[in-house]
Amino acid sequence: MKFYQRLAYYLVGLVMGAFVVALVLSGKDTRCNYFPNSRVLNDLRNKPFNYSIEASRKLSEDWIDTVDIKNTLTYGDVDFDKSNISYQNGKLYIIEGQTVQKDTITLRVINYPNKAVLEDIIRKK
């Protein structure tokens, strides 16, 4: 068998395989969270999310909005040196992110087995 025939068989198989994989994965809400940062943020986003009194007070101020919280829970960085500490029957996570105005913020989130609570929002200048 000549090279171009082998190449043609390879490409036909590759296209058919890619089609099957795309067909299987297209209808599902598939996520590939292999790294610890992605796993923690995904877990926090998928639970019912509540706000403490202190966090609600800071959200009423003009410098931060719930959009900033959602963006931080999607694109933020978990500080594992200060996080994953047992705290009030849950685990405390420190997440660093940015607001829309490019202010650096730090979220203190408690991850309970059935919910997540935003404990505090810290603004860094």
Looking only at Cα atoms, what is the longest distance across the chain?
Answer: 74
CA distances from 8 to 19, 24, 89 (A): 17, 24, 60
Residues of the chain below pLDDT 50? none
Distance CA 48, CA 110 (A): 12
Q: Looking at residue 30, what is its pLDDT?
A: 65
Report the predicted TM-score, pTM, of the whole model to 2 decimal places.
0.75
Q: Looking at residue 86, what is its pLDDT?
A: 87
Q: Looking at residue 105, what is its pLDDT?
A: 94
